[in-house]
Amino acid sequence: MAHYRHAGSIPPKRHTQHRSPDGALYREELMGEEGFSSDSSLLYHRGVPSAIVDARTWELPDQSTTPNQPLLARHLKLHDLFASGDGVDVVTGRRLLLANADVRISYVVASETSPLYRNATGDECVFVEAGTGTLETVFGHLPFGPGDYLVVPRATTHRWVPDGPVRAYCIEANSHIAPPRRYLSRYGQLLEHAPYCERDLRGPTGPEVRDETDVEVFIKHRGSGPGGLAGTVHVVPQHPFDVVGWDGCLYPYAFNVADFEPITGRVHQPPPVHQVFEGSNFVICNFVPRKVDYHPLAVPVPYYHSNVDSDEVMFYVDGDYEARKGSGIGKGSVSLHPGGHSHGPQPSSIEASLGAESFDELAVMVDTFRPLELGEAGTSCDDGAYAWSWNR
Ligand SMILES: [Fe+2]
C-alpha cells in the first residue's frame, strides 16, 4: 500500500540514533515486503523485537479440505456454524469454509479477546459482517464496525478485541492483498476512476506501548500440516506493543464497504467493476446498494456466465439478493459457483427484475483462479440442495 503514514516518535533521519528521554537507544526494525524491494515501514521498539524466551507448537484449527467432487454449486449457511460467540475468539476460533493453495476463507462468531497473532503466510483481509471492537496492532489501534474490511499485512502482530459478538469473514492470502493494480498510478496513487481513494482508508491511531512481560504470540506459518501450514507459539520477554513510533507505506488499514462508490451503466456491468482488492490468483469484489442498468430494455440481473478460469464465492451480507430469489439464499449464505459449470440467476428472478431502478444488496465475492476445496466448516453447513435450484 504505497501511501505514506507516520505516527508517534521517529528520528528525522532513518537508520540514525533515536533515544528515549532517559537516553536509551530504541531498536529500529524494518518490516518490508519482497526482500527490501517493495513497501516497508520502520518501527522503533523499546525492547528487542527478536527476543523470545520459549516456543511450543500451536495446533491450528482444522485446515484439512475435501475436493468439490462431484463438481457442484454449493450453498453454505454460515449462520448455522456458531451458536454464539461465547468462548470463541477471531483467531483460534475461525473455521475453514473453502481453500486452495492461494487463499483460505474462514468464518467465526467471536466475543472473546484473541491471543496476540501473527500470520506469516500472507496478508489477511477480514470483513466484519456484524459487531464492533478494536483491532490492536503493533502499529496502533483500528476501531472497527459492520462493513469494515481490515487489511492486515503479513507478519503484523495484532489481536482482536470485540465489544460483543463479532461476525468475521476471514480471507487469508498466501500473498499480499492490495487495491487492483489498474486503479493505481505508476507510483501507487489511487486514480480518478477508482471506486475509492486514500481518504477512504483508515490507518492505525498510533502506537500504544504496553509494559507486560512474558507474553505469548501465536504464529501461523508455512509448514508440513494440511494446507502447507503449521503453528507456533512464541513467548516473548516483553509485550510486542513496545513501539514508540513508525513510518512507511506498510501498515494495517480499514476500509468500509459503504465507502465503495459503485460503477453503473446503461446495460449490465461485468463483475470487475465491483472489484475492491486483489491477491495472487484471486480477487475480492463487493456488490453494494446501487442504481441499476437504465437502458429502457435492460435486464438488471446478470446473464448466465461460465467463468472458465475461476471459482466464484459470494457471501450475502445484507439486503435482498435479486438474482438468487427462490434458491434459499439469504443473509449469511455463501454460494460457491465452480469453474466448469455455467451459472446465473434463478430463472424466475429475470422477469421479476425488469424495470427495477435499484438493488438493495450487499455481498462480498472472492474469485479464485485455482479450484477451491471444502474445509470442515464448508462441509458441515452445505445445504446439499442448491445445485438443483435452477431446474425447479
Ligand atoms: Fe457469477
Q: Assign 59 to helix, strand or coil.
A: coil
**All three cell numbers of 263:** 460503477
**All three cell numbers of 314:** 459470494
Strands 40-45 and 54-57, by their bridges, are unpaired
In angstroms, what is the span from residue 304 Cα to ligand 1's centroid? 8
In angstroms, what is the span from residue 343 Cα to ligand 1's centroid? 6
Model-wide pTM > 0.95: yes
Give the pLDDT of residue 2: 64
In angstroms, what is the span from residue 162 Cα to ligand 1's centroid? 33
Query: Measured between alpha carbons, how far is 82 from 89 in angstroms, rounded to an integer?
Result: 12
In angstroms, what is the span from residue 169 Cα to ligand 1's centroid? 19
Query: Measured between alpha carbons, how far is 303 from 321 in angstroms, rounded to an integer?
Result: 15
Give the pLDDT of residue 206: 85
* Phi, psi dihedrals of residue 79, rounded to the nearest 5°: -70, -5
Q: Assign 202 to helix, strand or coil.
A: strand
At 111-156, the pLDDT tens digits run 999 999 999 999 999 999 999 999 999 999 999 999 999 999 999 9
Which of the residues in the chain have pLDDT under 70? 1-2, 322
Residue 340 near residue 313, CB atoms below 8 Å: no
In angstroms, what is the span from residue 350 Cα to ligand 1's centroid? 14
At 20-49, the pLDDT tens digits run 999 999 999 999 999 999 999 999 999 999
In angstroms, what is the span from residue 1 Cα to ligand 1's centroid? 28
Query: Measured between alpha carbons, how far is 261 from 283 in angstroms, rounded to an integer?
Result: 18
In angstroms, what is the span from residue 216 Cα to ligand 1's centroid? 42
In angstroms, what is the span from residue 370 Cα to ligand 1's centroid? 16
In angstroms, what is the span from residue 124 Cα to ligand 1's centroid? 24
In angstroms, what is the span from residue 174 Cα to ligand 1's centroid? 24
